[in-house]
Structure 1
Amino acid sequence: MKDIVQDRLARIEDLEQRKLLKSILTGVFLNLVEYQEDLNRKLEERVFMEMEAREDHHDIYVTVCPKEEMDPIHEYLFPVIPEDAERKPCELKGLLAQARRHEEPVLMTVFLQCEYSKLRTLLDGRRRFTGEAVTANGRHAVTVSLRPNRAYLNELERLYTVFQKNNMPWKTVNFPYAHKFFDVIWTSCEDTLRDDEEIAEIRFHLEEFDPFKKLHMVPMWNIERLELKNVGFPIPAVDKVNFEHVLSLRKTGTEHGYLVDGEEEAIRYIKRSPEELTIVSPQEKAGIWSVLKMTKPVPTKLGRLPYRLVSNKKKNSFTSGFARKQAITVRAQGEIMRIVSSFEASEGLELEQVDIIDRTEGAASTYSMNPFISDNVRVESDKKIMRLRFRRLGGTSFIDQDMMSFLVSEVQMYFPEYKCEGEWA
């Protein structure tokens, strides 16, 4: 624009008119042009400063640990449910009150270290096991049953909701230990217990499952819950309706992933820059925001994990990075094999064959790790079965079927028109 003005001035032969026009343009018009250019430059900087959230910043790492071996100051692992780190006493008074109301009192939670196929017989909660409650007045014979514990599956569902609020693509969380926790339900007692008695110990025998029984186990992952305050006061947004709340990430670490957990109506949009999160919200006043921090794992020199650390992390490869940028899914067996092999969880497993069948006989060897995601477009009974055959490479583990279920669940996300199932070749 300045070049155009200079060219027009040079064409005016009358010096007095040229001087007058130059004075007018310099005093009013050029200042307006410079102001507009400055605003355009600032808008461009804001657009380019808003970075795309890297997929590997939101990888979830999961393991399980005995409560007595849990490190409360671990560098990157935290209890999935913080209350699990505290030992909860078993109060007989509350149990008896629940029993009188015909409820199902929960004595404790047990971890069964065995394959998923062996646990399927316990999923309906009909099996009964004998045990005893030890009090100050002696031992009392009791009957207990096992019911699948859904606390950790509910946490996964909450995490999925947070991803949706932050407009982040969901990737199946590899949580092979979640389906191995069962609540021990007090079904009946042969003796009459008084409310003032205290239970010192609960003993029970799970018959063929007893060798796999583990007590006081705590699932852990790399998600830390933070409460972050605004940096300064909220700034009115461009739409003059919402406000921008800035959260600094310098103290908590810019190399980690962050998700804002809040009410859906309180979050309009989230902008990400290398060192800040900007929450566009209708809230006018500054406040404290609940943030989930996906801590990046670091190598530790002291201690070791008693159970395998698994994740939903993808391998770094050109084809995986290129495929993430494409909106079209390739309907080919080679693409399915690429999806499976792109995850680090596929180490030790190999996809041998993919079959499309009308229906399958018997129970599937795998289960869905995304049970909270529903397909509202297609009818489940009308879907054909995509059967994925895997084989083990090397040794075996009690979570092999669960790792296969994770890979099948991720393939299901790409092919919703089929019902994906896995089995051993």
Structure 2
Amino acid sequence: MIKELMIERLRKIEDLEQRQLLKDIVSGVFVNLIDYQEEMNKRLEERVFNEIEDVENRFDIYVTLSSKEDIDPIHQYLFPMRPVDLESKTIQINKLLQSLERNEQAVLYTLFLACDSVQIQQLLTEERLFNGTLVTTEGPIEIQVSLTRNMDYLQEINKLYPIFQVNGLPWKTINHPFAYKFFNVNLEKCPPLNEEAEITDIIVDLQEYEPKKRLNMVPLWNIERHEVKNIGFPVPAIDKVNYEHVLSIRKMGSEHGYLVEADEENVRYIKRTDNELTVVSPQDKSGVWKLLKIVNMEEEKIGKLHYELVSNRRIEHFMSKFARKHSANVKTKGEIIRMVNTFEAANRFELVDVEIVDSFLEASFTYCANPFITEMLGENSYKKIMLLKFKAKVEKDFIANDILSFLVSEVQRHFFEFKCVGVWQ
């Protein structure tokens, strides 16, 4: 800024000899001085910025979706949410018959629907039956199937919440729009089946949802499972009651985030250094500890993805880090806008208004992404409604409502006295 001002002033000197003389003086002395001052200001800014330690960014969760055949089994950054998804599966007729006899869901397979949340909810509400065919070694068999939401991936997300609590880390809503779009295909009606026959193929017609159907899809995230042994023997903790178990993370990489996956009664607290985790536990014997490694993403090295990579990562601003360290619930519209805009996922939306109303009878575009938290605090039926009105900056795709739900759920975590609802403006 100062250099531009000096150049502009030099241009206004009409005497060319004086302009050249002054230009030589400025270029030789003042420009270097200005560059030095700007560099020192930049270093001071970085020093102030880094004074507030932000361990949260080591625990950012990234997610995407991939077809089973496109998954790289040695990928450094992205891993299946459920490793069992990579195993080949066969359907046995006798197990289907046993499930039908016990009035249990006879699941044929799981599919993904590339629909927005409103279409997903409509499909679940209708409880429709679809026609299909079991192709067996004894010929085709006409069947009817139903679709119910597959909860396997949502349960994996739910499991993370108590793990964060055990590890003494703050919870941040998981932004996983794909996990809500998986369905189980359940056998509902079929003629008598021969247990000796084998199923070679299953064909189901989802009618108007057929173009949105995707088979053999696997959700991925940047969480890798490990098992680590103690370094040496446990030593008595300072309280003379519990024991310290030291786990080395040097070889796995100290730049990543690590969570100890254990029951609450087995962990008192966890101490963290750059290369070690110290688990203070009542266990007095060495053993193997389960770790969740949250990989620090380098997006330029991820490679080509067929579906968008989304996360719950916050943009690193000084004010955001300062607000998290000195948490004070400032209940203003400006604070809510700041809270939403700290997330990278908000770059496609704009929060244009916040309104408190007694009731809201229209259909909401959002759902609660933290049901395990809201259930603990009771129902929302008696609370006033906080309407969060958003405007899309780009054309909305089939996961736009889900990302909106993530942002609204984050606001809900800080404003439990209201029921937060997101709508499009």
* Shorter-normalised TM range: 0.7 to 0.9
Counterparts of 1:271-350 in structure 2, within 5 Å, are 271-300=271-300, 303-350=303-350
Q: State the one-letter code of the partner of 2:390.
A: F
Structure 1, unpaired ranges of 5+: 1-50
**1:125–1:148 CA contact under 8 A, matched in 2:** no
Q: Counterpart of 1:99?
A: 100
Secondary structure of the residue aligned to 1:380 is coil
Q: Counterpart of 1:19?
A: none
**2:77–2:302 CA contact under 8 A, matched in 1:** no
Greater gyration radius:
1
**2:54–2:321 CA contact under 8 A, matched in 1:** no
Q: Counterpart of 2:260?
A: 260
**1:235–1:245 CA contact under 8 A, matched in 2:** yes
**1:134–1:202 CA contact under 8 A, matched in 2:** yes
Structure 2 CA distance for partners of 1:302 and 1:255, relative to 1, 3 Å? closer
1:76: how far off?
0.8
Structure 2 CA distance for partners of 1:106 and 1:125, relative to 1, 3 Å? farther
Distance in 2, Cα, partners of 1:95 & 1:375: 34
1:299-337, Cα deviation, whole Å (9 max, x unpaired): 455741110000000001111111111221111001110
Structure 2 CA distance for partners of 1:123 and 1:99, relative to 1, 3 Å? same
Q: State the one-letter code of the partner of 2:218.
A: V
Distance in 2, Cα, partners of 1:331 & 1:386: 12
1:362: how far off?
3.3
Q: Counterpart of 1:59?
A: 60
Distance in 2, Cα, partners of 1:183 & 1:235: 49
1:297: how far off?
1.0
1:285: how far off?
0.8
The number of aligned residues is: 374
1:381-421, Cα deviation, whole Å (9 max, x unpaired): 22101011111112221100001000000000111110001
1:53: how far off?
6.9
Distance in 2, Cα, partners of 1:150 & 1:219: 13
**1:248–1:275 CA contact under 8 A, matched in 2:** yes
Matched, 1:404 2:407: no
1:93: how far off?
1.6
Distance in 1, Cα, partners of 2:271 & 2:366: 38
1:374: how far off?
2.7
**2:244–2:280 CA contact under 8 A, matched in 1:** yes
Structure 2 CA distance for partners of 1:393 and 1:302, relative to 1, 3 Å? closer
Q: Counterpart of 2:72?
A: 71
Secondary structure of the residue aligned to 1:172 is coil
**2:389–2:423 CA contact under 8 A, matched in 1:** yes
Secondary structure of the residue aligned to 2:159 is helix
**1:375–1:416 CA contact under 8 A, matched in 2:** no
Structure 2 CA distance for partners of 1:301 and 1:341, relative to 1, 3 Å? closer
Structure 2 CA distance for partners of 1:421 and 1:268, relative to 1, 3 Å? same
1:60: how far off?
0.3
TM-score (norm 1): 0.86
Q: Counterpart of 2:158?
A: 157
Distance in 2, Cα, partners of 1:375 & 1:91: 38
**2:312–2:345 CA contact under 8 A, matched in 1:** yes
**1:95–1:105 CA contact under 8 A, matched in 2:** yes
Q: Counterpart of 1:356?
A: 356
Q: Counterpart of 1:245?
A: 245
Structure 2 CA distance for partners of 1:294 and 1:377, relative to 1, 3 Å? closer
Structure 2 CA distance for partners of 1:311 and 1:377, relative to 1, 3 Å? closer
Distance in 1, Cα, partners of 2:181 & 2:197: 32
1:215: how far off?
0.5
User: In angstroms, what is the RMSD of aligned CA positions?
Assistant: 1.5
Q: Counterpart of 2:12?
A: none
1:124: how far off?
3.8
Q: Counterpart of 2:218?
A: 218
**1:329–1:414 CA contact under 8 A, matched in 2:** yes
1:225: how far off?
0.7
Distance in 2, Cα, partners of 1:378 & 1:415: 14
Distance in 2, Cα, partners of 1:302 & 1:269: 34
Secondary structure of the residue aligned to 2:184 is strand
Distance in 2, Cα, partners of 1:245 & 1:90: 44
Matched, 1:122 2:123: yes
Q: Counterpart of 1:20?
A: none
